Chain A
Amino acid sequence: FAGLADVSISGEVPVEGEITVPVSSHAPDEDFSTLDEPVRDTIMRDLKAVGKKFIHVMYPKKSSALLRDWDLWGPLVLCVSLALMLQGGAADSKDDGGPQFAEVFVIIWFGAVVITLNSKLLGGTISFFQSLCVLGYCVLPLTVAMLVCRLVLLAGAGTISFIIRLIVVVAMFGWSTLASTAFLADSQPPNRKALVVYPIFLFYFVISWMILTFTPQ
């Protein structure tokens, strides 16, 4: 094409010829349609994507994979499992117990939506669902903490178990907050970073509190 740069065509000369575009060797249908593939492939692809994001959360590096291909499967699974594990708490009357399933669900999802709206209103450049995706996935350390707490509580409910639970929950809370901040902080204007990070801190603090105060019957 370098030679063509010198060619100038006056308006009167008719231009004709053939244009050939190289076509890729395999049929175009195979790449875009996933209708014909076995169901196992579809499910495994989504599961692999979710699993990859879990790994990204546990080892937070600055990668854009979590942001680019957002999905809400992971957050849903985490939210439901956390809410289920928080059931069965002690209650003298119905009013004094721990959070109900609906309360945990609403707090996690409504909290994530509010934080996303907050960061967008403050001028953030991240999209709505990307932010929901990150906040939901970063609940993973706290779900792990809940699992550990329930296991520790099976062994006993004394002071030592409380101290272990406290340490585990605090560590996971720090991990969650740092992981989500690592993903979300870059999309904010620099003089408002603290304004965006604080609600995330509050969100994970509330979830950690619910986990820490869980007492079995």
Chain B
Amino acid sequence: ITCLVMYFFAEFDDAANLLAANPDATTISIEEPAEISKNQHGRLQERGREEDDELLGTDDSDKTELLAGQKKSAPFWTFEYYQTFFDVDTYQVLDRIKGSVFPVPGKNFVRLYIRSNPDLYGPFWICATLVFTIAVSGNLSNFFIHLGKPTYHYVPEFRKVSIAATTIYAYAWLVPLALWGFLMWRNSKVMNIVSYSFLEIVCVYGYSLFIYIPTAILWIIPQKVVRWVLMVFSLCLSGSVLVMTFWPAVRDDNRRIALATVATIVLLHALLAVGCL
């Protein structure tokens, strides 16, 4: 595949002319070997490997690799470097949010939606919204619980904002850092097919927190049963997004370590849910 791609780039002019004349020809010539190998994998090998290739998107991973290399070439002290992390359009952000709320079993969030274009817009503003939503809804739910009691005097409880902000931003940044370090360390010991960059992990965590925003708003309802059902439901949804993202990355490892990693991820997520809501 690499040779074909280099051939394509070396004879760019001819290729461009060919493409103009016959739009299908060049594209087929590049993708054909990948198509064939993908089909072979699909038919001959077991379902696990097929999932991997589907998840990886082998046909365009080479191209995205090259493109990703070209994109982030600005040095880190220039403004343009950080602009590459905000290179998303409105519909892309909305798609990623949709993907985090409706996890499709078997589809990897990172490969499907992020595709080597991790953005920092989503994680940052989803966390900010979540902080203020939790503070506001916590305040309102307190108000509704104590409504009608003659001794109750309403207070705005502004301290909740600072506490919530510290907790959520720490979770959204330190846990991905720890997870990324852990995955890098395991990668050096056991060769994994799937590995994620730090920003992709931050992205997944950020978008997976989105489901907590409507949950926090609905948390205003003072019924205990409703609250517990909501919390378990949202925990399952966002937990499943995380699990489906990270399972392929640790699957090839020692069975116990893989299970322990996934369990820790879920546990931390549950702690956040219980603590905040």
Measuring CB to CB, which residues of chain A are less than 8 angstroms from any residue of chain B?
89-92, 95-100, 103, 118, 120-123, 191-195, 198-199, 202, 205-206, 209-210, 213-215
Stretch from B22-30, B100-108, B152-160, B241-249 at the A interface: B152-160
What class of interface size applies to chain B in its complex with A? 20 to 34
Tell me whether B82 and A202 are in contact (CB under 8 A): no
Contact code string B79-118 (vs A, CB < 8 Å = 1, else 0): 1001101101111010000000000000000000000000
Selected from A192, A210, A213, A214, the residue in CB contact (under 8 A) with B89 is A192
With A121-B83, A195-B88, A202-B128 as contacts: A215 and B155 at CB distance below 8 Å: yes
Min distance, Cβ A20 to any Cβ of chain B, angstroms:
47
User: With A95-B159, A103-B158, A213-B139 in contact, is A199–B125 under 8 Å at CB?
Assistant: yes
Q: List 20 A-B contacts (CB under 8 A).
A: A90-B154, A96-B157, A97-B156, A103-B162, A118-B86, A118-B121, A121-B82, A122-B86, A193-B90, A198-B125, A199-B128, A202-B125, A202-B129, A202-B132, A205-B132, A209-B132, A213-B139, A213-B154, A213-B156, A214-B156
B272: interface (CB < 8 Å): no
Q: Are A209 and B136 in contact (CB under 8 A)?
A: yes
Closest CB pairs A-B (n = 8) = A121-B86, A213-B156, A96-B155, A191-B89, A98-B156, A194-B90, A99-B158, A95-B159
Considering the complex, give the chain B residue whose CB is closest to the CB of A157.
Answer: B154
Q: What residues of B have a CB within 8 angstroms of the CB of A215 in the complex?
A: 153-156
Contact of B155 among A97, A120, A202, A206 (CB under 8 A): A97
* Shortest distance from the beta carbon of B170 to any chain A beta carbon, whole Å: 18
The smallest beta-carbon distance between B169 and chain A, in angstroms, is 13
Interface of B is mostly: helix
Binding site for A on B (CB under 8 A): 79, 82-83, 85-86, 88-91, 93, 121, 125, 128-129, 132, 136, 139, 153-159, 162
How many residue pairs between the two chains, A and B, have CB atoms under 8 Å in the bound complex? 70
Select one of A96, A192, A194, A198 contacting B159, CB under 8 A: A96
A90, A99, A195, A199: the one contacting B93 at CB < 8 Å is A195
B90, closest chain A residue (CB): A194
The CA-CA distance from A90 to B157 in the complex, in Å, is 10
Find out whether the CB atom of B83 lies under 8 angstroms from the CB atom of A123.
yes
Shortest Cβ distance from B85 into A: residue: A121
In the assembled complex, the CB of A188 is this many whole angstroms from the nearest CB of chain B, namely 10
Chain B nearest CB, measured from A113 CB (Å): 13
Closest A residue by C-beta to B125: A199
Q: Which residue of B lies closest to A189 (CB)?
A: B89
Residues of B within 8 A of A213 (CB): 139, 154, 156
